[in-house]
């Protein structure tokens, strides 16, 4: 299963947030800082939706510089 996590960070922290996510989440396929409504996008792949839940709520959203996340699950890969 693949998910895209769109992240809003506190101003000036998006690059360090992405570095921490890359380091702490082994399921990350790609993580980039971006311009636009969101500050970063992370693509993860895992075998089960429960794993995505754990990654988003217990790892990513615990980062003190993250203001908001939005997760989109793929319908097919």
State pLDDT tens for residues 43-66: 999 999 999 999 999 899 999 999
Number of domains in the chain: 1
Identify the burial level of 22 via C-beta atoms within 10 angstroms of its C-beta, where 0-12 means exposed, 13-18 middle and 19 or more buried.
middle
Q: Is the pLDDT of residue 21 over 70?
A: yes
Q: Where residue 46 sits, what CATH number does that domain have?
A: 3.30.70.920
Q: Is the pLDDT of residue 71 over 80?
A: yes
Domain that holds residue 69: 2-73
Q: Summarize the chain as % helix, strand, coil (round to 5).
A: 30, 35, 30
Arithmetic mean of pLDDT over the chain: 95
């Amino acid at each position: 299963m693949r998910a895209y996590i769109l992240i809003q960070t506190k101003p000036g922290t998006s690059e360090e947030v992405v570095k921490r996510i890359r380091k702490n989440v082994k399921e990350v396929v790609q993580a980039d800082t971006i311009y636009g409504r969101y500050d970063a996008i992370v693509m993860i792949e895992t075998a089960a939706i429960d794993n995505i839940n754990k990654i988003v709520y217990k790892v990513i959203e615990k980062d003190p510089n993250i203001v908001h996340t939005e997760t989109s699950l793929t319908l097919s890969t």
